[in-house]
Amino acid sequence: MSETIQYQLDKPGVAVLSLDVADRPMNVISPEFISELDACIDRIANDDEVKGVVIRSGKPDFLAGADLKELAAALERGISLEQGYQRSQAASTVFRRLETCGKPVAVAINGLALGGGLELCLACHYRVLADDPSARVGLPEVTIGLLPGVGGTQRLPRLIGIREALPLMLEGRQIEPAKALEMGIVNELAPAGEIVSRARRWVLDGGLAQAPWDQPGFRIPGGAGAMHPKAVETFMVGTSLMGGKTFHNYPAPKAIMSAVYEGTMVPLDTGLRIESQYFGQLISGPVARNMIRTLFINKGEADKLVRRPQGVDPSKVQKLGILGAGMMGAGIAYASARAGIPTVLLDTELARAERGKAYSRELLDKAVARGKSTAEQAAAVLDLITPTMDYADLGDCDLVVEAVFEDRAVKARATEQAESVIPEQAIFASNTSTLPITGLAEASARPGNFIGIHFFSPVDKMALVEVIVGRETSDEAIARSLDFIRQLRKTPIVVNDSRGFFTSRCFTTFTNEGMTMLAEGISPVLIEHAAKMASMPVGPLAVMDEVSIELGYHITRQTQEDLGEAWEPMSGFEVMRRMVEEFDRKGKRHGAGFYDYPTEGRKRLWPGLAEHYPPAPEQPSIEELELRLLVIQALETARCFEEGVIRHAADADIGSIFGWGFPPWTGGTLSYIDTMGLDRFVSECDRLAQAFGSRFAVSDWLRERAATGQVFHPHS
């Protein structure tokens, strides 16, 4: 019995291939799938009773592309360039056999047809797509560090033109039905219940069993080749834009452009071999492995709550309480109401709580204006938020999130007042970004129910939530907190308690290094540019303005008070202190920080930086600054792993990418160390420590791991 494709020949002679991969919620392309498709093509080509073919799906979606779990396992074992080439060619050859089997082939596309799924459709002669909002087609391989390796870079440009095809592949966009028809990616739209009959009708009406590019006199729409003006312009502009966006840290966009450029100047079969060569280069390199491991496999497991303690019944928050209606509290209220959770938003004054609710109203109004929500839907969400200043309104909340000012005493008062009215079994979660949970739990009468749930700003856009386990936090509190995060459709990581936990602690090294560089006389423009060249989303000085220099200063002073004589200032603290105390430049929210924020025009670096921190005559290379900025974050992550703050390497990688924007091409901070190689990483840290100070010092534990070859992500 087939495990992936069901073959049925009806009386008029139409062979219907139903894709239905066993034991998978979605159809995926695996070696077994390719082998069975090859066998089906043999039957089709050699059976005179077969007049044509219709390919359909036996699942709610058509075909999601490659089996990334199987691919990830192969990548961890290691794939050579030649093996990558052969892997692409094996599937590409079968798709080409389908395209040239001599029988007309139509495909009925329901739901999603992505990556290899769309490539299979492109190898068919006629494409009918369900006219349904859930249906999408696209080639998103670039988002996992690869290119379409089963004909996508060759067939799509030949079908709709290079200028239209390249952006779809370089950006990995998914196209809705109407746009797919308009662009010519599909031939017809039909109601979901009619797509198979429409495809079958085309076959029986004498559909042409030949792709356009196999017909005499075919020319690529819009032109191709080194001497074609429009094609040359497309590649010149595309190359410039690509470099500006990726800084050449991501090899996939360049490989896509090269495969399209070279492949469209030769016959299709030659172009398919060129595509496979570039696919082999990408899949044998580290970027695809890192991105697939972290962005797909490990993130998927985190979304499924792989860290959830066993033995605790599943739960859902029926009513949520939020203490503090500032930026974070308002954002959490919006996310919770969007998830359908009745939410009580409390602040010291009703007007403050009302302003917190108004934040949701603004976001919902924008969604309505953009056509992403109806007015009725927006009103229903807004009705779920109840602003108040009365703690008694928390009486039936089964989970409370504290998001008040980052001050231990303020948080203690909020904890005591809330616990005096909430149910005994309710979970109390602090949204603190730095203060240790175990210390905050001292104000709680039920420390077993006390936990950290650290959201990231802006909450409506940031997918990550950091769950912090205190010394007395119970497994039930962990499990119920993770269930809540899943309700919000966000991605959790679980870490142990520590000052700054994991994300804030490591992110601080990035901003501290930027301020330290400034004090060293390094040009602020160079500092910011180096961060962007490394693919950080924003420079350390700009992000310090965003999160508030004043807040960082206040947190540091709180740490100094907590640690007493044991406190040691970070290398960039004096810059932070002067910005707040001497220059009264506290960050973007206050209208002035490392940048000026004019009422009109773009922000610009504060000219006063040159006066107070004059640039040195000789500036370091951009590569050296990139290295410093990335290494310091990765080294602090390794320290967190050594200390047990990080429980699993996968959580460190997920947290670093989705929490503060560590470059995705690295796979995350610990994948970055593994990719560099522990020996080289330790050597670079030793060099940097000698040149710039003990913050780059390597522990004996990490040095021993390097000596014994203990990577953070062992090969399976």
Other Cβ atoms less than 10 A from the Cβ of 45: the count is: 14
Q: Name 56's bridge partners.
A: 18
DSSP state of 258: H
Could you identify the residue written with the tokens 């049925």? 8
Distance between CA atoms of 269 and 115, rounded to whole angstroms?
20
Nearest residue to 43 via CA among 11, 92, 93, 6: 6
How far is the CA of 647 from the CAs of 548, 639, 651, in angstroms? 30, 12, 7
Could you identify the residue written with the tokens 């990418």? 657
Report the SS3 class of residue 164.
helix
Q: 458 preceded by cis ω (within 30°)? A: yes
Phi and psi angles of residue 360, each rounded to the nearest 5 degrees, phi first: -65, -40
Burial class of residue 183 (count of CB atoms within 10 Å of its CB; 0-12, 13-18, 19+): middle
Distance between CA atoms of 595 and 572, rounded to whole angstroms?
17
Phi and psi angles of residue 422, each rounded to the nearest 5 degrees, phi first: -75, 160
Which distant-in-sequence residues (6+ apart) come within 8 Å of 676 by Cβ? Answer: 684
- Please spell the DSSP secondary structure of 71-131, one letter per residue: HHHHHHH---HHHHHHHHHHHHHHHHHHHTSSS-EEEEE-SEEETHHHHHHHTSSEEEEE-
Distance between CA atoms of 675 and 208, rounded to whole angstroms?
50
442, 443, 446, 449: CA torsion to nearest 10? -80
How far is the CA of 438 from the CAs of 307, 404, 452, 505, in angstroms? 20, 17, 9, 16
How far is the CA of 709 from the CAs of 77, 161, 571, 634, in angstroms? 16, 49, 32, 17
Taking each continuous run of H as one helix and of E as one strand, the counts in the chain are 30, 19
Which distant-in-sequence residues (6+ apart) come within 8 Å of 173 by Cβ? Answer: 138, 140, 167
Phi and psi angles of residue 210, each rounded to the nearest 5 degrees, phi first: -155, 130
Active-site entry in 125, 228, 454, 554: 454
259, 265, 271, 277: CA torsion to nearest 10? -40
437 neighbors 412 (Cβ within 8 angstroms): no
Residues belonging to the chain: 716
Q: End-to-end distance of the chain based on CA atoms, in angstroms?
A: 31
Could you identify the residue written with the tokens 């998103």? 140
- Note the helical H segments in 172-250: 177-183, 195-204, 229-246
Indicate if 228 belongs to the active site. no
Active site positions, annotated: 454
